[in-house]
Structure 1
């Protein structure tokens, strides 16, 4: 496993305290010149201004205001208020040294009813944000759909379970390509389509909270046996339709790229038995092949056809041809891995859902030093996944769109474990590049603490801490932001090179915690 070390020094000067962070070993200039480093967010999680300037509710607004499936409290009405503070945020990105910022467009801010008139205030906001990024030398990487379908379309015809969505999504994409495509070169149609279909239409812990009864999430509607497959089918067709539109109408002038994004995992057989080895491949087919097989080969994996049967929609020949080659790059989000055990008994369940169709048991992959709320640092599982994708689907461009570690909101700003996590995974990307993989960029999730879908404001991934008790929502750099900035600015050649933190800024969220200190031994 790729390893490197980093050293921290704290200097006490007369009259003031100034802290420094230095890194030894990992160098930005070891990566190809075209390789981009960035950070990610999404519209509902950062923008706020939920009912301002013509924006209308999305299914995520409705989900949050209905109680987030009783998992946590809060909503994105204000979030990080990036709608009003985008200039401040872009300045922080520039000072950090980001090459790119990945964000999403709120469909219901740009086209409030999902179709029809454009909201000029929403159009102006995204033009302003994109222009601000470019003026600071930062590439905008734009996601068209990050789980926030306009509520109007959900109410009118059921949203993603209805094939009418293909037409409306394509029209929405057309507006975005036309209005922003002269400056945006990297488009992702859908974020984590696989998780949106599973969580929103099978299990019911994501918007729009569809699932069959009985369920611990008390869904008011849905059919877990069929809807995940319908939603995926329509997302794939919507992506392919938007990609064809871009190729035919815009690409010759705009020279951009259209990709799709999936949440990925490493799948590790629980034992070395043939049953568990085959089960691990089956899990990958259900989680990833579900999308990649149609996008590369034009049809679903054979094991899905066998296990799902007539509940799995079919593609016409023209749809299959439309899908093949429609993915200019794959965006992968990666956080952790699973042990996989064969479990054929679930195939005997009446009215099986997506998870039962997979016929496996999944257990979170952990290590001896993994704390309860932390992700294990196992970059070799990411490397194994990327190797597997290349072996099955061939060579295609990849962007690591999200990678990061969660902590509790009340943790210290000295997020050493996040620094270690990022250091290991960024280092593993260099190994993958040297092994011939076509990886084009790496984005940290997230640029700042956002309204997290699985934890609201209770869990955080940000490089910047957002003080929710401060009316200005002050952004405070964490240790990880300083480490990332140091790396991005090539201040890693000499272990004594340092960057200065904001003078007299508090290092801790809880300043009474005497166990937190920057003065630590080198890792």
Structure 2
């Protein structure tokens, strides 16, 4: 089976990793900016990033040259509402309107993420962010504004990027590590973000019934190190809790009973109101956005049957796999397995929203020969086609990333782009765009619809 004619071949970025201009034209400070600022002495921050804010026309021209059918990007909440609430920032609106207009004019489908790790910092200072239910309503108001401003030209929306990762990392939510109530606050944020996502979906369906909207979930695949029952059970439990339990809430509007049992045992049950059940059930996803990169191999080191994730888990290197510079495995066959398992469980269309290979890279005679990324693309696209052959409803592929972008953990050392951005951590230069070998390979893939 070939890829469908309407398949959304795309590439992706996120606002804080790509735009820069972090306090320009009225934009407010965000949690992502705060996290980057804390690492400013050792790597690049979000102040310039890939300077996408000032390379808008050039980058869309490159997208057209690449042949993209879609482009996944995020709107920065703080560029629309600098304080997360209050007065709309007209200059921020103008930037995203220009971007979306350029995409549509060039027949590139916008795929818009409404929140990608960058909660407005003012909401953290005022309400502790999503610890407070007030943030649910403010997020709904922000989403309503985006739908009103851009909904006539956007058919695909994503509510929250990798909520399942955010709730494992206190600083992504603006919370303090030494807070004695941290565990309970993390759970409350998790629950409140489910409600926020559901309310955004309800609002979108009312305003634009033909639009498609869903979450974006981090979806790693876990292997047991051995066939020891403890290892097998651990791998199953981690994947179930980390990926499938969140998907269940997004798709069915229910909290997984294993998750609720965990909250009860740990005395972290969030504040739940009577009307929440109907909100979750009404605000269910039209499709699933999944971010899938690699597999992880785990071992229950204690062998005591107690799987306290994050404490008793050992991440092991799989001797049958190749690893990159940041110890991420190269395992394309697992992508087909992951897509099949996700589709069989939830029967929802799937869009791969992130998938890519990172390298330390530099220019060589004005070029970047990223042979490994070309191989990665080839092998993973081949597995996508096999998943389609076996019945998976896969609607799009957003390669991570379009250009080299800021990594919040490794700055500009860790490069994923199809296009090289000529800067490093501390020498910004002019952020010149240089097409890598993978750009030309992916262009050929798109021209031939994956064949």
| Paired residues of 2:230 and 2:305 also in contact (CA < 8 A) | no
Counterpart of 2:156? 186
Q: Does 1:211 align with 2:177?
A: yes
2:328 paired residue number:
375
Provide, for residues 301-348 of structure 1, a one-character-per-residue CA deviation record: whole Å limited to 9, x for no partner: 333333342314375564233223611111111111111333578998
* Equivalent of 1:329 in 270, 273, 287: 287
Task: Report the equivalent of 1:400.
Answer: 352
Equivalent residues of 1:226, 1:311 under 8 A apart: yes
Shift of 1:488: 1.2
CA 1:338 to 1:492, structure 2 compared with 1: closer, same or farther past 3 Å? Answer: closer
Among candidates 188, 193, 196, match of residue 230 of structure 1? 188
- 1:233-283 Cα shifts (integer Å, max 9, x gaps): 1110000011111222x123xx21111011111111222233322222210
Contact 1:400 1:442 in 2 (8 A): yes
Cα distance, 1:301–1:265 mapped onto 2, change above 3 Å: same
State which drifts further: 299-308 or 471-480: 299-308
Q: Contact 1:257 / 1:328 at 8 angstroms: preserved in 2?
A: yes
> In 1, Cα distance between the equivalents of 2:31 and 2:450?
44
- Equivalences, count: 442
| Preserved CA contact (<8 Å) 1:404 1:461 | yes
The 2-side partners of 1:284 and 1:333 are apart by 14
Shift of 1:470: 6.8
How far did 1:109 drift?
Answer: 0.8
Larger radius of gyration: 1
**CA drift at 1:136:** 0.7
Does residue 239 (structure 1) correspond to residue 197 (structure 2)? The answer is: yes
State whether residues 374 and 406 of structure 1, in contact with CA within 8 Å, keep that contact through their aligned partners in structure 2.
no
Which shifted more, 276-285 or 484-493?
Answer: 484-493
SS at match of 1:279: helix
The question of 1:387 aligning with 2:353 is answered no
Tell me the alpha carbon deviations over residues 427-484 of structure 1, each in whole angstroms, 9 at most, x when there is no partner: 1111111111111100110001111112111111011101125743110011111110
Q: How many angstroms apart in 2 are the aligned matches of 1:291 and 1:234?
A: 13
RMSD: 2.5
CA distance in structure 2 between the partners assigned to 1:333 and 1:190 by the alignment: 12
TM-score, normalized by length of structure 1? 0.79
The corresponding residue for 1:34 is 6
Match of 2:39 in 1: 67
3-state SS of paired residue (1:149): coil
Gaps of 5+ in 1: 1-28, 213-220, 494-523
TM-score by length of 2: 0.91
Instruction: Name the stretch that deviates more: 290-299 or 166-175.
Output: 290-299
Task: Write the distance in 2 (CA, Å) between the matches of 1:361 and 1:422.
Answer: 29
Alignment of 1:64-463 (within 5 A): 64-67=36-39, 72-199=42-169, 201=170, 204=171, 206=172, 208=174, 210-212=176-178, 221=179, 223-248=181-206, 250-252=207-209, 255-309=210-264, 310-313=267-270, 315-316=272-273, 318-324=275-281, 326-342=284-300, 355-356=310-311, 360-363=313-316, 365=318, 367-373=320-326, 375-391=328-344, 393-410=345-362, 413-463=368-418
Q: Which secondary structure state, in structure 1, belongs to the residue aligned with residue 168 of structure 2?
A: helix
| SS of alignment partner, residue 406 of structure 2 | coil
CA distance in 1: counterparts of 2:164 and 2:377, whole angstroms: 24
243 and 224 in structure 1: CA distance in 2 versus 1, 3 angstrom threshold: same
Distance 1:105 1:92 in 2: 20
What is the rounded CA distance, in whole Å, between the counterparts of 1:366 and 1:121 in structure 2?
52
Q: Distance in 1 between matches of 2:145 and 2:449?
A: 41
Match of 1:52 in 2: 24
CA contact (8 A) 1:113 1:150 kept: yes
The range that moved more, 95-104 or 331-340, is 331-340
Give distance in 2, aligned partners of 1:347 and 1:308: 19
- Specify the SS of the correspondent of 1:143: strand
Give, in whole Å, the separation in 2 of the partners of 1:108 and 1:422: 34
Conserved 8 A contact 2:253-2:284: no
DSSP 3-state at the match of 1:152? helix
SS in 1 for 2:310: helix
DSSP-derived class of the 2:407 partner:
coil
Return the match for 2:432 from 474, 478, 490: 474
